[in-house]
Amino acid sequence: MRGLWPLLALLSAALASPVRAEDGYDLWLRYRPLPAAQRPAPRTIAPSADTPTLKVARAELERGLQGLTGAARAQAGAGAGTILLGTPTGSSAVAALHLPLQAAGEEGYVIRTVGATTVIAANRDIGVLYGVFHYLRLVQTGAGVDRLDIASAPKVRRRLLNHWDNLDGSVERGYAGASLWDWWKLPDYRDPRYVDYARANASIGINGAVLNNVNAKADSLTAPYIAKAAALADVFRPYGIKVYLSARFSAPIEIGGLKTADPLDPAVRAFWTAKADEIYRAIPDFGGFLVKANSEGQPGPQDYGRTHVDGANMLADAVGPHGGIVMWRAFVYSHEQPDDRAKQGYSEFKPFDGQFRDNVVIQVKNGPIDFQPREPFHPLFGAMPKSNLGMEFQITKEYLGFATHLVYLGPLYEEVLKSDTYARGPGSTVAKVVDGALDGRRETLVAGVANIGTDRNWSGSPFDQANWYVFGRLAWDPEASSRDIAADWAKMTFSTDPRFVTPVVAMMMGSREAAVDYMTPLGLHHQMGNGHHYGPAPWYSGGARADWTSVYYNKASRDGIGFDRTAAGSNAVAQYAPEVARRFSDLKTVDEKDLLWFHHLPWDYRLRSGATLWDGLVGCYSQGVAAVDGMGRTWADLAPYVDRERHGQVASFLAIQAREARWWRDASIAYFQTLSQRPLPPGEPPPARSLDYYQSLQFPYAPGI
């Protein structure tokens, strides 16, 4: 027997060791045994009410504590504390504590140590579930749970994922496999994975999902598909997640047998009213519709000479009696419109401020073009005080290297949310527009285009999971720190060891700037390949529409580069508050990160560093490449803290990223040099291949189209 001990010790060390192979399926809900010193004292969970949500809250807590403490069961015993879960209305023990729950609202919670008891309480069951996930996060990150006094409530009411998932299982701009929704087998077969999806979302406070692509098919609104959506809604309900659908504006024609979809036509209005009634019969807590109208070829009210207000309000009237909302996207631009594309969303929507129904939210992309590696904030933020304005971020990395580039999007989201619109004077940040505080609006929304698919690791790579995670946390609190969130995520996903956490958080925090540098530095934008959006193509011109080309945005020529959006150019700056417009317009005050977004400048223009624009541009590309090389080295050093499977995948992806960062640099320099006609700065290696070579590359099978 004694001889067996070393073997058993080895075995249990192997089981507990962080270097056991993992496939990433568990996301950040990875309840592996903590190092002994970090394990909390044993606690029993007091009985709680048997509602669907409290049942899953309790199950999650048990599962988490058992996994994290390595205990067979959450044990009682000498000195063992108790965890009490519930609401004052459902539990007399919770009610007796008279906790300050007023500020918790519908979804917030209080976690408090009261003697030997830790109470996780809320006004509604869903708040308890959110509190349980917060408590588990504290345990997972080694934060200590012995003396707690925490109160948290979401600042934003609707925190939604937008799935661009098609009914055939493909995902527009998806890089993580096929759609999670098995429409074919629904509603009869409910993949157990739907529950894990719901758990993951609830753990970060996401409370809604738009199931289908904004480039919608009307079929999603037919009876069989409503039944399928209802099955998903049933799975998600205990986790506080409501189902929403993208609505195709022309559905009255396609599935309603009408000749028109004119929003002022009584038959059309009757169609939508009946359709909403039908949906609510199947899904009583249905969230509402998301609509992409009169944008990129989608049908909309303008097809009938009507306005966005006519269209949005008609749908709002249909879902309103049931408590539903309409999210009407402001991502509209027309190739028939000669004006700067960056101006069109504002120009179309601003005049309608105050005319939308209370249950309409205008859903605005973070920047005025389209999810580029860097954009200034969208000028509509702050510009429509009498309307509900929601944020649309992209989590899937359509323009940021797909799944294989390591780009943590937290700093991008944070940069936008912290931007000061000056709409009501200094401090009028985008975060305050979005959380409704600036203009006292209650119907608030943050939406994110999901990066989730059937890949075993959900998001395409371990680090892409961080983008889902930070999105949810920032939707809950748009003023939170993306660095703190990265640290939480890294500890939960990999290891709490500071020798791992410190370098990995630094790597994540720098990763977005690296991508900006090797893809589109100094305010350049929309320089990617046409259609698939993969790789560099700053030369791209022609095609169906000018505003889908690269040259439209870089305006590079012998005389210089950049898009003049000052008063001398397109005057897009005039869409911002005067303080902001002045800052963007003036070469002395504009952030050089936005330089070529707002200015067209000669190649010999002097940057603040003293370098010429040409030399500085080349320097940025190289800096981006060097940063990615640095990420590769950092990650290699972290091998001891990560299981081999996930470490290996990230390492391979970083190698792809390093190669593609060089490709971006070299192709961009090769092209722009034909215009700048200047030598590379000393020490800068020339592009590895000829411009012809880069221009010859074709990617007919790139994913996500």
Q: Which amino acid is at 258?
A: L
| 137/113 Cα distance (integer angstroms) | 16
Nearer to ligand GCW among residue 328 and residue 331 (C-beta): 331
Q: Kindly state the smallest distance separating residue 214's Cβ from ligand GCW, in Å.
A: 5
Work out how close the CB of 370 gets to ligand GCW at its nearest, in angstroms, rounded to a whole number: 5
- The answer to the question of residue 490 lying near ligand GCW (CB under 6 A) is no
Q: Cβ 594 to ligand GCW, closest distance in Å?
A: 20
CB 635 within 8 A of CB 623: no
* CA–CA dist 461, 650 (Å, integer): 7
Among 215, 337, 530, 695, binds ligand GCW (CB under 6 A): 215
Indicate which single residue of 26, 125, 348, 398 sits in contact with ligand GCW (rule: CB under 6 A). 398
For position 164 contacting ligand GCW by CB under 6 A, the verdict is yes
Those residues whose C-beta lies under 8 Å from the C-beta of residue 184, and which sit 6 or more positions away, are 169
Of 28 and 534, the one with the shorter C-beta distance to ligand GCW is 534
The C-alpha atoms of residue 228 and residue 282 are separated, in whole angstroms, by 10
Q: How many residues bind ligand GCW (CB under 6 A)?
A: 11
SS3 of 329-390: the string is ECCCCCCCCCCCHHHHHHHHHHHHCCCCCCCEEEEEECCCCCCCCCCCCCCCCCCCCCCEEE
Active site residue 398: yes
- Residue with smaller CB distance to ligand GCW, 172 or 182: 172
Determine which residue in the list 331, 539, 598, 671 makes contact with ligand GCW, applying CB under 6 A.
331
Q: Which of 60, 107, 398, 564 is catalytic?
A: 398
CB closer to ligand GCW, 167 vs 282 = 167
Catalytic residue among 60, 310, 370, 420: 370
Sign for the CA dihedral angle at 126, 127, 129, 134 comes to: positive
- Start-to-end CA span in the chain (Å): 61
Q: Is 370 in the site for ligand GCW (CB under 6 A)?
A: yes
392 is known as an active-site residue: no
| Dihedral angle sign, alpha carbons of residues 67, 69, 71, 76 | negative
Residue 333 near ligand GCW by CB under 6 A: no
From CA 549, how far away is CA 526, in angstroms rounded?
8
Q: Is 150 helix (H, G, I), strand (E, B) or coil?
A: strand
Binder among 130, 371, 494, 597 for ligand GCW (CB under 6 A):
371
Q: CB nearer to ligand GCW: give 370 or 464.
A: 370
Buried b (16+ CB within 10 A) or exposed e, 659-695: ebbbbbbbbbbbbbbebbeeebeeeeeebeeebeebe
For the bound state, the minimum distance from the C-beta of residue 163 to ligand GCW, rounded and expressed in Å, comes to: 11
Q: CB-wise, 529 or 569, nearer to ligand GCW?
A: 529
Q: Cβ(525)–Cβ(565) under 8 Å? A: no
What residues from 653 to 692 belong to the interface with ligand GCW (CB under 6 A)?
Answer: none
The answer to the question of residue 172 lying near ligand GCW (CB under 6 A) is yes
Site for ligand GCW in 569-608 (CB under 6 A): none
Question: DSSP for 596-639?
Answer: HHH--B-TTPBPTTS-BHHHHHHHHHHHHHHHHHHHHHHHHHTG
Instruction: Clarify whether 278 is annotated catalytic.
Output: no
When asked if residue 214 is in the footprint of ligand GCW (CB under 6 A), the reply is: yes
- CB-nearer residue toward ligand GCW: 49 or 546: 546
Pick one of 58, 292, 525, 662: the residue that binds ligand GCW (CB under 6 A): 292
To ligand GCW, the closest distance from the beta carbon of 54 in angstroms equals 38
Distance CA(141)–CA(133), nearest Å, equals 12
Which residues in this chain contact ligand GCW in the complex, by CB under 6 A? 164, 172-173, 214-215, 292, 296, 331, 370-371, 398
Which residues carry out catalysis?
296, 370, 398
